[in-house]
Amino acid sequence: MAALEDSAAARRAAELRTTLHRLGHHYYVLDAPLVSDAAYDALFQELQALEAAHPQLRTPDSPTQRVGGAVLDGFATVRHTVPMLSIRTETDTGPSGAQAFDTRIRKELELPETAAAVEYLAELKFDGLAMSLRYEGGVLVQAATRGDGEYGEDVTHNIRTIGQIPLRLQDAPPVLEVRGEVYMRRADFEALNARQRARIDAGEKGEKTFVNPRNAAAGAVRQLDPAIAAQRPLSFFAYGLGEVQGGPHWSSHAAMLQSLEDWGFPVAQHRRVAAGADALVQFHADTGAQRDRLPFEIDGVVYKVNSLALQQRLGFVSREPRWAVAHKYPAQEQSTQVLAIDVQVGRTGKLTPVAKLAPVFVGGVTVTNATLHNEDEARRKDVRVGDTVLVRRAGDVIPEVVSVLPQPAGSDTPRGEVFTMPRSCPVCGSAAVREEGEADYRCTGGLVCSAQRKQAILHFAQRRAVEVEGLGEKLVDQLVDGGLIRTLPDLYRLGFATLAALDRMAEKSAHNIVDALEQSKATTLPRFLFGLGIRHVGEATAKELARHFGDVDALMDATEEQLLEVNDVGPTVALSIRTFFDQPHNREAVQQLRACGIHWPAIAAASDAPKPLAGLTFVITGTLPTLGRDAAKALIEDAGGKVAGSVSKKTSFVLAGTEAGSKLEKAQELGVAVMDEARLREMLDGGT
C-alpha cells in the first residue's frame, strides 16, 4: 500500500512540476499569465506539501527550489569549461566607432572594396552581471559568475530564485551552457529603493538604498542567503553559449539566439541583423534615441559578425574575440565635487535644493548643477559642501546626485554642515511651509514671488503649451524684474515699443516676439490647460480634461465629483483643479487671456461625442501609409481608445505598418488581432 501511495505521489509531483514550469514561463518570460496568482499559488503549495511529506521527490528543477534553501558559508569556485571572455570596447562613442569596427573586420577578412557588406547581429549591451548557466540532461545544475573569465563563483542557489530562468529545458542538448546577463528593471529598482527608504524611515538598522540597478543586481546575486536574494526583483537575458555537447549546428548568431528563445530563455527583442557599417550606425543611433525609454539600463550596443563560420575564421586577439565589439554611449555617471548647495524656487513654489558642482562631462553634456530633490533626500544621502559625489544624467532627465563617495583613506578634512531647508523663500522672503504628508517645502508668496511668476510664464510659453517662440529665460527675467509682467495676460499687452526699449533687444527681435505672441493665440484647449500650470495637471491629464468637458467654462465650474469622472483623474488631481479655479485671480486670468484673443477649435464633450474605440487598447508598430505615430495615437485616443507601448494578452489590436518588428511577432505569438490603417479608419467611422 505504501509503495502505491509513493507511486501516486511521484506521478502527481511530476505533473505539478511540469504544469508550474509551463505557467511560470508564460508569466515571467512571455508576460502572458494563463491562470490567476491564487490558482498558481494553490498548485505551488500542493507541490510543497507533497515534497514535505516525501522528501525524496524534491528535485533540483522543482519550482519550490526557487526560494529558501540553506545559507552558505561562502561561494565555491567554478572553472569555466569555455572561458567567459570580455568584448573589446570601442572608445569612440560617435558614429565613426561603428565604421571603424566594420573597417577592421573587412581588413581582417581581406575583403575588396567591391565585396558585399558584412552581415552583423546588433544587440544591446546590458548594464548588469554576466552569468553562465549550465544544464545537464535539460536540468539547471550550476550558475556561475564571470569572475576573471577562467574562474567564477558558484551562485546557483540565488540564480534559481529568478523566475525567468528555466530550471528544466525540453529538447535541449545533453550539455548546454547559456551565457547571459542578470539585471534589474528600472521599475523594480525604484520599487526596491522605495521599500528600503521605508525601512530606513521606520528605524530598521543596517538598511541602505542602492546606487543603481547594476549594483543592486550584483549585490543580490552575491547574497549567501537565497531567501534574501529571492526578495530582490532580478531578471535575465540570454545572449550566447559556452560549452555545448550535441544539439543543433548553427550557421549564424541570429539562429543561435532563436534556439535560445525556443528553449524558453528570455532574449532581448531589441536586436537587428545589420549589413554593413551604415546599418550599424543606424542601430546605434536608433537605440540611443530609445535608451532612456527602455525598461532596463544599457550602456551601449554590441556588434557581432553574424556568420559563425566567419567568427571562427576571425578568431581572437589576446582574450578578446576579433568578431565582436561593444559600442558604448557617453557615460551617464561621473564623480565631481559639490561647491555649494543652493535652493531654487519652482513654478508651483516648490523649494528644491540644488548642488552646485565643479563642471563635469556626463551623459553627453557638461553638468554644473544637480538636483537633491528635497530636504529628506539631501539628508538621506548626506550630501554636504566639499563632498565628492557621483552624478547621474540620462537623456533629458535633470542631473541628480546619486551618492556621496567615501573620502580618501587618511583624509582628515572636516565635512561641511548638514543641509537644512530655509524656512523662508530665498527669492521673496515669504514663509516656506511643508504641508502634512508632503516631502517638499513651498513658498507661500504665489505671484508675489518673482521666481514663481517667471516660471509660470516660461511654462505657459513653452513648446508643448501655447508656444511663444523666442520667449526665453533672459527676456522673461527682464520683463518680470522690470515690472512689465505680473500676470499671464500681461504678455499679450506688450507692444513693439515696450519690447524694443529693453536692453539688448533689436527692432527685428522685438518684431519677432510680437509676431510669436500673435501666432500663439491660435492654440488647442489641451495645450491651453497644460499651460495654465495647474498643479498635478500634465499634458496627458490636460488632454483628458479637454476631451471630457470640451470647454474651459464647463471645466472651471465642475465639482470635484464631476472631475473624478474624468479618466485618470483621482482625488488629489481633482482637489488641485478645484482649488486652482476657486481662486478669483486664476479665473480672471483665463477670461483675460481669452479677451486678448487666445482661442482654440471647438471640442465635442465626452458625453456628446461617440467613442467607437472605447475600452480597446492598441499597440502601434511600423510605418503607416499616411499617418504618423503621434497622429494615429491622437485619433485612437480621441475615439476613446488607449495606446500602449508593448504587446500583451490585454492588447485588443496591433496597428501594423511596413517594417513592423518584434511587436508584430509578439502579437502573432499571443494571438492578438492585427489591423492596418484602412481597418482603423473603418472602425473610427463606426464600422465593427
Nearest-CA neighbor of 298 among 132, 93, 128? 128
Alpha helices in 462-559 (DSSP H): 473-481, 496-500, 507-520, 525-531, 539-549, 552-556
CATH number at residue 284: 3.30.470.30
CATH number at residue 658: 3.40.50.10190
Task: Specify the range with the lowest mean pLDDT, choosing from 107-116, 431-440, 518-527, 556-565.
Answer: 431-440
Does residue 402 sit within a domain? yes
> C-alpha cell of 558?
465642475
Coil vs helix vs strand at 619: strand
Mean pLDDT confidence for 524-529: 93
Nearest-CA neighbor of 211 among 391, 415, 371? 391
Rg (CA), the chain: 30
Q: How many residues does the chain have?
A: 688
Q: Are residues 481 and 497 in the same domain?
A: yes
Nearest-CA neighbor of 676 among 610, 621, 637? 621
Determine what percent of the chain is predicted with pLDDT higher than 90.
Answer: 41
Task: Specify the range with the lowest mean pLDDT, choosing from 129-138, 381-390, 619-628.
Answer: 619-628
CATH number at residue 36: 1.10.287.610
Q: Are residues 389 and 265 in the same domain?
A: no
Has residue 394 got a pLDDT over 70? no
Tell me, what's the pLDDT at 687?
A: 62
Q: Are residues 432 and 452 in the same domain?
A: no
Task: Specify the range with the lowest mean pLDDT, choosing from 110-119, 246-255, 340-349, 426-435.
Answer: 426-435
DSSP secondary structure letter of residue 248: -
Task: Specify the range with the lowest mean pLDDT, choosing from 118-122, 410-414, 468-472.
Answer: 410-414
Which position has the grid cell 505521489? Answer: 9
| Residue 210 contacts residue 193 (beta carbons within 8 Å) | yes
CATH number at residue 491: 1.10.150.20
Distance CA 530, CA 409 (A): 51
Has residue 48 got a pLDDT over 60? yes
Does residue 579 sit within a domain? yes
Q: Are residues 131 and 231 in the same domain?
A: yes
Coil vs helix vs strand at 389: strand
* pTM, full prediction: 0.53
Does residue 610 sit within a domain? no
Q: Are residues 41 and 105 in the same domain?
A: no
Distance CA 178, CA 685 (A): 51
Structural domain that includes position 44: 2-66
Torsion region of 414: left, alpha or beta (phi above 0 gives left; psi -120 to 50 gives alpha): beta
Interval 140-194: pLDDT, tens: 999 999 887 888 889 998 899 898 899 999 889 999 999 999 999 989 998 998 8
Number of domains the chain contains: 6
Does residue 413 sit within a domain? no
Distance CA 67, CA 231 (A): 9
Determine what percent of the chain is predicted with pLDDT higher than 70.
Answer: 93
Distance CA 505, CA 484 (A): 15
Q: Are residues 456 and 425 in the same domain?
A: no
Strand partners, 410: none
Cα 476 to chain center, whole Å? 34
Q: Are residues 436 and 464 in the same domain?
A: no
Q: Are residues 349 and 278 in the same domain?
A: no
Does residue 136 sit within a domain? yes
Sign of the torsion angle spanned by Cα atoms 630, 636, 641, 643: negative
Distance CA 204, CA 197 (A): 10
Does residue 129 sit within a domain? yes
DSSP secondary structure letter of residue 249: -
Distance CA 460, CA 530 (A): 8
Does residue 82 sit within a domain? no
Q: Are residues 510 and 550 in the same domain?
A: no
> Which one of 301, 328, 355 terminates a domain?
328
Of the pLDDT bands very low, low, confident and very high (cuts 50, 70, 90), residue 69 is: very low
> Which one of 328, 353, 369 terminates a domain?
328
Distance CA 361, CA 365 (A): 5
* Residues noted as catalytic: 125
Q: Are residues 195 and 206 in the same domain?
A: yes
Does residue 603 sit within a domain? no
- Determine how β-strand 673-675 pairs with β-strand 653-656: parallel
Q: Are residues 294 and 147 in the same domain?
A: yes
> C-alpha cell of 43?
498548485
Q: Are residues 543 and 627 in the same domain?
A: no
| Residue 545 contacts residue 527 (beta carbons within 8 Å) | no
Tell me, what's the pLDDT at 320?
A: 82
Tell me, what's the pLDDT at 369?
A: 93
Cα 248 to Cα 138, 173, 238, 271, 313, distances in angstroms: 15, 8, 17, 22, 20
